[in-house]
Amino acid sequence: TLEGFATLNADGQNGTYGGRDGQTVTVSNQADLDRYVTAQEPYTIRVQGTVTISPKGTELRVASNKTIIGIGATAAIDQGGFFLAEGVHNVIIRNLTIANTYVDGDWEGKTQDFDGVQMDTAHHVWIDHCHFHHIGDGIIDSRKDTTYLTVSWNVLSDHNKAFGIGWTDNVTAQMTIHHNIFRDLNQRNPSTDNVLRAHLYDNWLLRIESYGNYARGGTNMVLENS
């Protein structure tokens, strides 16, 4: 069940329901996945099996009004991720393993910008029940005033930079982060910079090398049961 800021009626979008009003399609390869995530029409996109992305590190550009959901326990986006540009809204990403864009020898993620999910001023996004691991740069980057975001029931593991939030001087973003496992990570768990309202609750941090929950800049954070 969706909880938190992604449920709100704001910025012309009443809650987050993804591709509910469109057709349901099933994809098992990059060409079909890219076709439907970039379409202007709403879609519920069921991912079957492992979709290997080429070239490695490509972030498929997701358009508004999409649900991208894995079928069963084996659905995966391998060697790629998703990008939500300015104005993209009403997107759900669920039940996927997103992994393996890591570049050997680049633990700090300085040679590329391969994120699991990057959002640049998107709104009304729900990331739920995914497992992210071994990503090139940031597992999740919520950037440039991305708002009305809920991140729930995910596992973020085996990486340096887990979850970065900010890259803006504005203090407008609102987000809920709950029931996630952060394990075998270094930094940004998450790093929350200049967020008007950040509600973090019931998150579990295990084997963190550097720091855990971090409220930076103008962030107002309610942190419970971490």
Instruction: Please answer whether residues 66 and 18 qualify as being in contact, where contact means their C-beta atoms are separated by less than 8 angstroms.
Output: yes
**Integer-rounded Cα radius of gyration of the chain:** 16
Residue partners of 22: CB distance under 8 A and separation at least 6: 41, 42, 43, 44, 65
- The angle at the Cα of 219, spanning 138 to 183, to the nearest 5 degrees, equals 35
Among 177, 90, 189, 166, which residue's Cα sits nearest to residue 128? 177
Tell me how far apart the alpha carbons of residues 155 and 9 are, in angstroms, rounded to a whole number: 28
Give the tokens for residue 74.
């084996």
E strand or H helix at 128: strand 123-128
Residue partners of 122: CB distance under 8 A and separation at least 6: 84, 85, 86, 87, 88, 89, 91, 146, 149
Cis peptide before 42 (omega within 30 of 0): no
Annotated catalytic residues are 188
Instruction: Please answer whether residues 214 and 192 qualify as being in contact, where contact means their C-beta atoms are separated by less than 8 angstroms.
Output: yes
